[in-house]
Structure 1
Amino acid sequence: MNMRHLLCGLLLAAAAPCASANTGVAFVHGTGSQTNAYQDYWQPAMVDSVRQGLANTGNYVVINCDFTQYMWDSRAAGCLAGQLSNFISSKGITRLIVITHSNGGNVIRWMMSNPTYDSRYPNIISKIVRVNALAPSSAGTPLADAVINGNVFETSLGWLLGYKSDAVRQQQVSWMAYYNANYLYGTSGRPALPKPFRSVVGTDVDSSPFDGDSYCGGYTENVGLETTQNWLDSCSDGFLNCSSQSAAGSVWFQDKSRTAGAEPLSHNQSRRACFTLDTILRNDLKL
């Protein structure tokens, strides 16, 4: 065999895995029981923009599960495993990129940390390339403690936290510290997750009625998040402290470092097509 034939053979061998790869993306919502997360949680502008980064734009799934439950519950992680398994099988997915938001990061982290808990987990984990976690509640939030303790947040944040659900109870700071120390991977001092878990961190909230950017994702929601920010650290997205969002895996980027106009992403905006976040996620699918 001459050198030319050898080089051609090596190039073809290297290209074969790429040629046979079939990439898909899964959108995994946060706290709440969803039946149409495409319309209600993410909204079409976000989903339809991001999936344009796929070679086959039909290789996407929007998860609809009951994430008012504890992360390991059959209605939460079990439902997620079922829908991801069906998606992988029906579309022949060999590379899966997961985009998740808020408490959805805890559910997918449970799956990756406990592969023997459900027979479907190993195949899903083997297909995952990375998880892009938008404002994940990896270390919980003081607002969950406030809701469970029954103070004013119970009524003022019902739209955001889903009242006293098990998922909100789970996201109390001390509870998440316990889960992170005993059942979940990816936080300091714990084993690494089997696949990359990269967080996008929201650092602030804008809600001025005179600033058009405050209306992206819903002005009323941003006003509420700026109010609750008074009970959080100076670096927060109105629901989660930056330290919680950064607690698991690695930080991909903080909002202002990459968003259009260096705009912050409130907790509501980090699941919407705000300030080119959708473009960043779309371009990432091509990698």
Structure 2
Amino acid sequence: MTKTIKSTLLLTCFLAGAANANTGLAFIHGTGKQTDARNDYWTSEFIDSVRKGIPNSEKYTVINCDFDQFMWHEDASGCLATALTHFISDQNITDLKLITHSNGGNIVRWILSNPTSNSLYPNIINKITHTVALAPSSGGTPLADAAIAGNAFEAGVGWLLGYNSDAVKQQQVSWMEFYNTEWLYGTSGRPALQSKFEAVVGSDVDSAIWDTDSYCGGYQYQVALEVTQNWLDNCSDGFLNCSSQAAAGSVWFYDKDKSNGKEPLSHHQSRRKCFGLDSLVRNRI
């Protein structure tokens, strides 16, 4: 058999496999106990735009779990695993793509890193091919440290973090450093994750009242994140330092490198239809 014929057969097999793949998409929220994440966390306009990136845009699910718990808790990773298992089974999914935000990336990494801790995990891991992690809190945040310390700052971030939940404790910088060293894959010096885990990094917050871009996603959130940014590095999205967002997997892009108008994505805007983010994610998947 000639080299040309072999190459043609390999390409044919690859295309046939791709055509037979049944792609599904899951949207996985961040910290908080969600009952209607489609509307309360993501918004329908973001989800309905992104899901057009898969062959059958109806094969998607929006996760609602209690991510105020530690990532290994039954109500967190257990809930996520159960929901994904039902989705995979009901829709016969063979190619599962995930869109996560913030702490949702940690819940997914727990599943990918600990395949023997739950009987549902191996099948899910074998189906996941790509995770787009929007502003993942892979390295934790100093805001969690401040909130747990119980000082006056706590009241200022209650809307963003919750109050002294286990998820907030988990996202303290030193705690995430321990988890990344001992329990989670994907960070420097640790085993790689089995599938692609790409981060979108938010690098700044704009809240100028005269700037219409500051109103995308809600101006009040921009103002609040501008305040919390004072506790963070110069490169941050108002909740997470860039270094935290880039700590696991690989960086797909920093906001200004690809956003419309080179606008920054605050932590709130990175789950909204702002500055072309939805189109970028849709095309990526």
Aligned mates of 1:11, 1:83 — CA distance in 2: 35
The match for 1:79 is 79
User: What do you get for the CA RMSD once the two structures are aligned?
Assistant: 1.7
Equivalent position SS for 1:97: strand
How many Å apart are 1:15 and its aligned residue? 2.5
The match for 2:183 is 183
Equivalent position SS for 1:157: helix
Q: Percent identity?
A: 63
4+ residue runs of structure 1 moved beyond 6 angstroms? 1-8
1:169-222 C-alpha deviation (Å, 9 max, x unpaired): 000001011111100011111111111111000000001111111011111011
The match for 2:146 is 146
TM-score of the aligned structures, taking structure 1 as reference length: 0.96
Aligned mates of 1:262, 1:206 — CA distance in 2: 12
1:16 aligns with 2:16: yes
Equivalent residue runs for 1:40-59 within 5 Å = 40-59=40-59
The one-letter code matched in structure 2 to 1:233 is D
Aligned mates of 2:254, 2:4 — CA distance in 1: 47
Aligned mates of 2:210, 2:163 — CA distance in 1: 31
Aligned mates of 2:62, 2:188 — CA distance in 1: 31
Equivalent residue runs for 1:3-152 within 5 Å = 12-152=12-152
How many Å apart are 1:234 and its aligned residue? 0.3
Report the CA distance shift for 1:4/1:201 in structure 2 as closer, same or farther (over 3 A). Answer: closer
Report the CA distance shift for 1:18/1:140 in structure 2 as closer, same or farther (over 3 A). Answer: same
How many Å apart are 1:85 and its aligned residue? 0.6
Aligned mates of 2:9, 2:198 — CA distance in 1: 36
How many Å apart are 1:27 and its aligned residue? 0.4
Aligned mates of 1:76, 1:28 — CA distance in 2: 11
The match for 1:250 is 250
Aligned mates of 1:179, 1:264 — CA distance in 2: 29
The one-letter code matched in structure 1 to 2:75 is R
Aligned mates of 2:38, 2:100 — CA distance in 1: 13
Equivalent position SS for 2:151: coil
Aligned mates of 1:252, 1:9 — CA distance in 2: 32
Aligned mates of 1:236, 1:262 — CA distance in 2: 15
How many Å apart are 1:24 and its aligned residue? 1.1
How many Å apart are 1:12 and its aligned residue? 4.1
More displaced stretch, 4-13 vs 24-33: 4-13
Report the CA distance shift for 1:92/1:238 in structure 2 as closer, same or farther (over 3 A). Answer: same
Report the CA distance shift for 1:266/1:90 in structure 2 as closer, same or farther (over 3 A). Answer: same
Structure 1 unaligned blocks of 5 or more: none
The match for 1:171 is 171
Aligned mates of 1:278, 1:151 — CA distance in 2: 37
Equivalent position SS for 1:256: helix
The one-letter code matched in structure 2 to 1:225 is L
Report the CA distance shift for 1:10/1:257 in structure 2 as closer, same or farther (over 3 A). Answer: closer
How many Å apart are 1:43 and its aligned residue? 0.3
Give the total of aligned pairs.
Answer: 285
Aligned mates of 2:282, 2:121 — CA distance in 1: 26
Aligned mates of 1:111, 1:29 — CA distance in 2: 15
Report the CA distance shift for 1:3/1:215 in structure 2 as closer, same or farther (over 3 A). Answer: closer
Report the CA distance shift for 1:8/1:80 in structure 2 as closer, same or farther (over 3 A). Answer: same
